[in-house]
Structure 1
Amino acid sequence: MKSATEYPGVSSEIGSPVFQFSRMENLLRGHSVRTVAVDGVSAEFVTDPVLVRRILVKDSKNYGKGELFRKARNLSRAGLLTEDESVHRHYRRLTHPYLRTAAVAEYAQVMHEIAREAVTSWRLGQAVDVQAEMCRISSAVALRTLFHGVPREASALLGEHLAALSWEMMRKPLYGKAATRAERQLSSRRLSRTRADFRGLLASCMADLLHSPDCTEGYLSALLTDSGKHGTPVLTPDEVCDEAVMMLTAATVTTASVMSWALYVISQDPLIEEKVLKDMAQTGGESVPLGNGHGPVGYTVRFLMEVLRLYPPVWITCRRTLSDVTLGDYSFARGTQVLFSSYLLHRNPDRYPDPYRFDPDRWLSIRPTTDDASYIPFGIGAKGCVGESFAWKELEILLGAVIQEWQLMVEPGSRVRKAAETTLHPRRLLMVPQPR
């Protein structure tokens, strides 16, 4: 019988909780599965990519959402994040028309306009809070593309509040002991306040939209008009609001986190920057293969793939066994919490030689495979990210809009640290723009 090892994942650095990835790696090194305790809760940490794929794909029906999904379920329990598999499938099908490849291609012009307007408002030599800006841009993109029929002024106001909510969501600790009690309470109060502000505005817009002839297009309209067998709404207005908040924040926080890392990496390596700019000039900014990022790809795509490898926004995941299960040579009782980390899987030296080196050209010889979970920035299987095509196109457009206009440099004297919270993001990233 294995004994649980308390996971020493957090220490204090300059008054801020810092997740210690090196300690996590040392603890798990050499173990396909190891029993750990996180905040006093026993869990099985799986590091074998073949076993992780089995959890997510082959045996997915045997696993439900685990402890780390509580924050997301606080946003919505009725639609995509429901425990009911049939309901989950229904809402995946409902979102598909608005996130499929053809629809995303139609959003490109709007994405370009929003990104261009935002980055041209920056000022020469004036430090930019990159994460706040990426939240602001991606919030506007999500609202303008998915929520048709909302007046432009209302959409702009919603965008401001969504950006604030997304930033609070990004930096909320995943683990209860990742901060002092006072810090947790302050974070919870800020998050509750910003969520209430955004949700109130959204509910008002929804009420107006229900009585508008424009309530026929877009994802929000699909939620509002979704009906059951007898023509009655499937979701209550409150549930529609919760589902919309969940979708919008998920789209915003992940994009903002990845873009922040992408801009930081480019600022640290002029050669990489030069190659991305050259590739964009040659392809006209249309190099990303929508929907997967697999197959022969150009340098910009390889660059984004490498950013997602080293800095996956959803860096750790928890599942709970719904029955007694066997996973490889291990047996887990019903109710067991099972953890795995894309951060670790993406740094597996057996899969990625020199795994800590940022090398976009590794993707010339390595291809993401469906045989295991060595590369899962968007997850895999029936519950993989429903917005993957949307994310690829948005990342490509935002990256191009920024670096074709500006050369960014980290503010002198600042040190960029990883913050492993609801997403994996830079703890603070101030950058100074210089004209291209």
Structure 2
Amino acid sequence: MERLLRGHSVRNLTVDGVDAVFVNDPMLVRSILVKDSGNYGKGELFQKGRNISKAGMLAEDEVLHRHYRRLANPYLRASKIGDYHATMRGIAQDAVASWRPGHAVDIQTEMCRLAGAIALGTLFPGMPPGTSADLTERLAALNWETIRRPLYGKHLSRARGQGTSAHRLARARAGVRELLLTCIEDHLRSPDAENGYLSSLLSDSEEKGGRSLTVDEVCDEAVMMLTAGTVTTASVMSWALYVLSEEPLIEKNLIEEQAKAEDGSAGHGRERRPSGYTLRFLMEILRLYPPVWISCRKTRAQVTLGGHSIPEGANVVFSSYLLHRNPERYPEPHRFDPDRWLSTRTSIADGAMYIPFGAGSKGCIGESFAWQELDILLGTVLRTWRLSTEPGAQVRTAPETTLHPRRLLMIPRPR
């Protein structure tokens, strides 16, 4: 991508046989996401999430999208996130305590399991322990199949031809839906039970001014939220732990800061966001390895971008991966350097230059949730284990549904 777009702020390309306009200018991307966002709807390319849910937050209808975004907001707003701190930390501690010294851990599948357990424990509380444990395992399988599903190009064509990837994904999704439908039926028999976000979806009705969903649609919306809230975290944490294994000085700095922060951990009702060196480290991980590495919008009317006239109905593609490696914005863009954030401005006006969570009205609704979760997961692992890759292992980047390590086995040793 860097080679094809070098010197071009806007370029016409064909992606998997679909004509698209690729935008590689930070301010033009900001215009798409924020200033002129009303001129752009959801693009046809890279919309895998819509295979799961088409009626709620991912609906084409903007009014419907905003309604279900508002429905989720009480569970994801910054003032609520602190209430999840103890649950997040307890789940993380139990998970990493099960690792065995010297025995390889498949970090990505483990992070899928961990992030799924946290999403269930915080957003979908009240499930019987056995059901929650079963659903966590099924969700972990779905998350991993979602992450490694080819997004475009020859790998997707090969997967389509063989059918194996799509079949694994479909089976994993069916397994999660089957158990979730049982939970929904249990809730409908006991409507006074409190199941967090699931209760909110089920109680939504036309009488309340909403757009009521069928039981199947509620199930799909719940699966979408659980998947969206976990696959990105799993990819980011996998990169974070790998980078730490390669950068002992950075690891040392983080451990020292985590030790100081331990006594001042946030209490109930207060969101705990990373700060100091931890924040800079995570921002640099998200800069170089944004999980949502490529995005697509579709024009709702004729627009002009960078002097180029683009017709209505055109697919407009941009990549946070490329924007985050712009040498004009980030000197030595391929070098991992948390301290670049001591001087790099990160104001909202520069949002389109640093967009790991998107920007504007369609930006990630779970950003506050993600920051606290990443902070807790990172600190929990650091306090317990020192991780290293197997001798001779080569970790490659896989640009699939998320930007993740191709294969990441790590050896834990007690700290």
Which residue in 2 is equivalent to 1:386? 365
Unaligned runs of 5+ in 2: none
Which residue in 2 is equivalent to 1:46? 23
What letter is aligned with 2:322?
L
**Aligned equivalents of 1:212 and 1:159: distance in 2?**
23
Indicate the SS of the match to 2:349.
Answer: coil
**Aligned equivalents of 2:200 and 2:390: distance in 1?**
44
Indicate the SS of the match to 1:318.
Answer: strand
Which residue in 2 is equivalent to 1:76? 53
Which residue in 1 is equivalent to 2:344? 366
Which residue in 1 is equivalent to 2:231? 253
Unaligned runs of 5+ in 1: 1-23
Indicate the SS of the match to 2:154.
Answer: coil
User: Of 151, 156, 170, which residue of structure 2 is paired with 1:174?
Assistant: 151
Indicate the SS of the match to 2:392.
Answer: coil
**Aligned equivalents of 1:306 and 1:173: distance in 2?**
25
**Aligned equivalents of 1:42 and 1:291: distance in 2?**
44
**Aligned equivalents of 1:121 and 1:423: distance in 2?**
27
**Contact 2:150 / 2:159 at 8 angstroms: preserved in 1?**
no
User: Does 2:106 correspond to 1:133?
Assistant: no
Q: For each residue in 1:268-291, what CA deviation from the matched residue of structure 2 results, as whole angstroms up to 9, or x when unmatched?
A: 01100000011111122759x959
What letter is aligned with 2:202?
L
**Aligned equivalents of 1:330 and 1:184: distance in 2?**
40
User: Of 87, 98, 113, which residue of structure 2 is paired with 1:110?
Assistant: 87
Instruction: Map 1:161-200; keep pairs closer than 5 Å.
Output: 161-175=138-152, 177-179=154-156, 180-181=158-159, 185-200=163-178
Which residue in 2 is equivalent to 1:273? 251
User: Of 221, 229, 243, which residue of structure 2 is paired with 1:243?
Assistant: 221
What letter is aligned with 1:405?
T
The 1:110/1:51 distance shift into structure 2, 3 A limit, reads: same
- Give identity over the alignment, percent: 63
1:267 to partner: Cα distance? 0.4
1:209 to partner: Cα distance? 1.4
**Aligned equivalents of 1:91 and 1:153: distance in 2?**
29
**Contact 1:56 / 1:381 at 8 angstroms: preserved in 2?**
yes
What letter is aligned with 1:74?
N
Which residue in 2 is equivalent to 1:375? 354
Q: For each residue in 1:288-317, what CA deviation from the matched residue of structure 2 results, as whole angstroms up to 9, or x when unmatched?
A: x95987xxx400011000000000000000
The 1:334/1:290 distance shift into structure 2, 3 A limit, reads: farther
1:369 to partner: Cα distance? 2.8
The 1:92/1:272 distance shift into structure 2, 3 A limit, reads: same
Larger relative helix fraction: 2
Aligned length: 409
1:181 to partner: Cα distance? 4.7
Which residue in 2 is equivalent to 1:14? none
**Contact 1:225 / 1:233 at 8 angstroms: preserved in 2?**
no
The 1:212/1:111 distance shift into structure 2, 3 A limit, reads: same
What letter is aligned with 1:42?
D
Indicate the SS of the match to 1:404.
Answer: helix
**Contact 1:135 / 1:252 at 8 angstroms: preserved in 2?**
yes
**Contact 2:239 / 2:285 at 8 angstroms: preserved in 1?**
yes
1:184 to partner: Cα distance? 5.0
The 1:97/1:125 distance shift into structure 2, 3 A limit, reads: same
What letter is aligned with 1:64?
G
1:351 to partner: Cα distance? 0.7
Which residue in 1 is equivalent to 2:407? 428
User: Does 2:306 correspond to 1:328?
Assistant: yes
**Aligned equivalents of 1:393 and 1:286: distance in 2?**
12
User: Does 2:410 correspond to 1:410?
Assistant: no
Indicate the SS of the match to 2:347.
Answer: coil
Higher relative contact order (CA 8 A, sep 6+): 2
**Aligned equivalents of 2:231 and 2:258: distance in 1?**
25
What letter is aligned with 1:242?
D
**Aligned equivalents of 2:337 and 2:236: distance in 1?**
16
User: Does 2:93 correspond to 1:121?
Assistant: no
What letter is aligned with 1:29?
R
**Contact 1:44 / 1:338 at 8 angstroms: preserved in 2?**
yes
The 1:232/1:375 distance shift into structure 2, 3 A limit, reads: closer
**Contact 1:101 / 1:291 at 8 angstroms: preserved in 2?**
no
Instruction: Map 1:191-340; keep pairs closer than 5 Å.
Output: 191-212=169-190, 214-229=192-207, 234-284=212-262, 286=265, 297-340=275-318
**Contact 2:67 / 2:210 at 8 angstroms: preserved in 1?**
no
Indicate the SS of the match to 2:391.
Answer: coil
Q: For each residue in 1:369-409, what CA deviation from the matched residue of structure 2 results, as whole angstroms up to 9, or x when unmatched?
A: 32241100000000000000000000000111111100000
**Aligned equivalents of 1:138 and 1:131: distance in 2?**
10
TM-score if structure 1 supplies the norm length? 0.90
**Aligned equivalents of 2:265 and 2:315: distance in 1?**
42
User: Does 2:132 correspond to 1:155?
Assistant: yes
1:208 to partner: Cα distance? 0.4
Q: For structure 1, which segment, 274-283 or 379-388, has the greater mean C-alpha deviation from structure 2 after superposition?
A: 274-283
**Aligned equivalents of 1:275 and 1:238: distance in 2?**
48
Q: For structure 1, which segment, 215-224 or 180-189, has the greater mean C-alpha deviation from structure 2 after superposition?
A: 180-189
**Aligned equivalents of 1:75 and 1:182: distance in 2?**
18
Q: For structure 1, which segment, 206-215 or 84-93, has the greater mean C-alpha deviation from structure 2 after superposition?
A: 206-215
Q: For each residue in 1:85-113, what CA deviation from the matched residue of structure 2 results, as whole angstroms up to 9, or x when unmatched?
A: 11111111111110112221010100111
**Aligned equivalents of 2:139 and 2:6: distance in 1?**
39
Indicate the SS of the match to 1:154.
Answer: helix
RMSD between aligned residues = 1.8
